[in-house]
Amino acid sequence: MLSIPGLPGATCDGFSRRELLRVGGAGMLGLGLGDILALEALAPAAPRGNGFGKARNVILVFLQGGPSHLDIWDPKPDAPSNIRGEFKPIRTAVPGVFVAETMPKLARVLDRATLIRSVSYTPVGLFNHTAAIYQMLTGYTPDKVSPSGQLEPPAANDFPTAGSQITKLQPSSGAMLPFVMLPRPLQESNIIGKGGTAGFYGPAYDPYFLFQDPNRDLDLGDLSLREGVDRPRMQRRARLLDQLNAAMPEIDKATQRTALSRYQARALDLVVSGRARQAFDLAQEPREVRDLYGRHTFGQSCLLARRLVEAGTRFVQVNWPAVANGNPRVDAFDTHAENFAPLRNLHCPKLDSGLSALLLDLDRRGMLDDTLVLAIGEFGRSPKMGVSTSGNSNSATGRDHWPYCYTALIAGGGVRRGTVYGASDATGSSPKESPVHPNELLATVYWAMGIDPKTVVYNHLNQPRDLIKSDPVLGLF
């Protein structure tokens, strides 16, 4: 459940969701309430076409760390042994389409989705995770890239992440958190959050960060104060919340007063309605539904994403719950040291249950038609084992970073069902047909949400910038 520390005493003071709501000690909101709702603008008009505006919500399953496309989505049983690996292909619900034996549950529901087996880009200092994540989520290469691809931490002049763009350009009208990121931050080594903030839009458009394990009871610990908000000010707001609770019948009257703008009324509704608190309460779900998703961090995060979208959240980003370059034997897709045992025993069973349940559950509830689901990492893994493509060392059975060809799964929001878009070559090394740049995928997400990818946005210096310098992949619709 969410807790509500307080409300401001005067509207000229402004107030922020960081002070009003939290989900545990690490959950911090950058979304102002009355103030930021007043700044919301309508999305620019765009010509309608294939799939335009079919989606109302987005669930981005971001598989940070770079999962192996050959061992999950795009098996190559006829390739040499040092490429095809240990896993056998299995049939799916789509005739003639196979996935690796690591994904048996997804195989049964693949008729609800499309595999894009030709995602590809040529790196420019993007061999390592942080810079590749930044490009994948913002559509831009970072300004400062070392030869290894490492970056400086998030900066105020960064390009906004996709969820922040949608939050600003197509704001929701209901009293619900518009953008939530969970269950852990984007991270490579000590670089945390790059590509996952609102950047030059400012913290008003940051996601709500729920960095806890939804498979456990949410920690409603101490509230971290926002920078610039001192303790006396927060205590004053808490006292006002007590008054608010004591005079709850007066709230409905207050929201009708002309002294409150419609934006402030919406903000007040978010605080007092309990809608957000209920959305975060997984205890309301039947046991069999929770079991379907899997009783692990990733599975319960996917279930929470469905609940948030159902409650009115516009954009939910579920990050793979591991540091991008973490230990593959414990939690990470970064399988330099060992590829097959971690995928077989740890990662793929979790990915399989969580992602398949999300597709099935959304479809059963009639939500898949207007909820776009995209599952993708920042790159794939090298087809040939035991080679170095990024300067990292690899074991004889390890796979290195590979941005030249990998796979994404996309579903819902008008996307065709039960198809494969594009194809990789015989070794999964490069696209054989219909290559798709990650920027084109972002353009497709915007397009599905009814936002013209050619929209011009303005940065913190009021300078015009392209939303994305790519066109949508209309063949997906």
Domain count, the chain: 2
What is residue 152's predicted lDDT score, i.e. its pLDDT? 80
Q: Are residues 268 and 352 in the same domain?
A: no
Q: Are residues 164 and 205 in the same domain?
A: yes
What is residue 14's predicted lDDT score, i.e. its pLDDT? 32
Rounded CA gap, 306 and 301, in Å? 9
Q: Are residues 210 and 77 in the same domain?
A: yes
User: Between vectors from CA 113 to CA 385 and to CA 275, what angle results, nearest 5°?
Assistant: 110
| Cβ contact 246:272 at 8 Å | no
Q: List b or e across 464-475, with b for residues whose CB sees 16 or more CB atoms inside 10 angstroms.
A: ebebbebebbeb
Q: Are residues 299 and 411 in the same domain?
A: yes
| Cβ contact 227:335 at 8 Å | no
Structural domain contains residue 406: yes
Structural domain contains residue 151: yes
Amino acid residing at 270: L
**3-state SS assignment for residue 137:** helix
Q: Are residues 79 and 31 in the same domain?
A: no
Rounded CA gap, 394 and 241, in Å? 56
Rounded CA gap, 463 and 344, in Å? 49
Q: Are residues 155 and 289 in the same domain?
A: yes
| Cβ contact 210:180 at 8 Å | yes
Structural domain contains residue 67: yes
Q: Are residues 375 and 340 in the same domain?
A: yes
Structural domain contains residue 244: yes
CA dihedral 362, 363, 366, 367 (to 10 degrees): 40
What is residue 15's predicted lDDT score, i.e. its pLDDT? 34
pTM: 0.82
Could you tell me the residue range of the domain that residue 260 belongs to?
A: 1-39+222-279
Q: Are residues 195 and 267 in the same domain?
A: no
What is residue 148's predicted lDDT score, i.e. its pLDDT? 61
- CATH at residue 312: 3.40.720.10
What is residue 336's predicted lDDT score, i.e. its pLDDT? 95
Query: What are residue 465's DSSP bridge partners?
Result: 457
Q: Are residues 21 and 60 in the same domain?
A: no
Domain boundary among 263, 279, 295: 279
Q: Are residues 313 and 459 in the same domain?
A: yes
| Cβ contact 92:449 at 8 Å | no
Rounded CA gap, 288 and 290, in Å? 5
What is residue 458's predicted lDDT score, i.e. its pLDDT? 96
Nearest to 131, CA basis, from 146, 116, 120, 121: 146
Structural domain contains residue 464: yes
Per-residue pLDDT of the chain (477 residues; tens, 9 = 90+): 332 222 333 323 333 333 333 333 333 344 444 444 444 444 444 456 789 999 999 999 999 999 999 999 999 999 999 999 999 999 999 999 999 999 999 999 999 999 999 999 998 766 789 999 999 999 998 877 666 666 788 999 999 999 999 999 998 777 688 999 999 999 999 999 999 999 999 998 999 999 999 999 876 343 233 455 455 554 555 455 455 455 555 544 444 443 334 444 444 455 555 677 788 899 999 999 999 999 999 999 999 999 999 999 999 999 999 999 999 999 999 999 999 999 999 999 999 999 999 999 999 999 999 999 999 999 999 999 999 998 889 999 999 999 999 999 999 999 999 999 999 999 999 999 999 999 999 999 999 999 999 999 999 999 999 999 999 999 999
Structural domain contains residue 44: no
Strand order in the sheet with 406-411: 208-209, 179-182, 315-319, 57-62, 371-376, 406-411, 113-119, 419-421
Structural domain contains residue 332: yes
Cα distances (Å, whole numbers) of residue 80 to 18, 197, 342, 407: 54, 42, 22, 20
| Cβ contact 99:413 at 8 Å | no
Q: Are residues 332 and 449 in the same domain?
A: yes
| Cβ contact 381:402 at 8 Å | yes
Rounded CA gap, 51 and 390, in Å? 37
Structural domain contains residue 404: yes
Q: Which residues contact 432 (CB under 8 A, 6 or more apart)?
A: 118, 422, 423, 424, 425
**3-state SS assignment for residue 117:** strand
Q: Which strand (E) or helix (H) includes residue 270?
A: helix 262-273
Q: Are residues 194 and 87 in the same domain?
A: yes
User: Between vectors from CA 410 to CA 405 and to CA 411, what angle results, nearest 5°?
Assistant: 165
Domain boundary among 233, 252, 279: 279
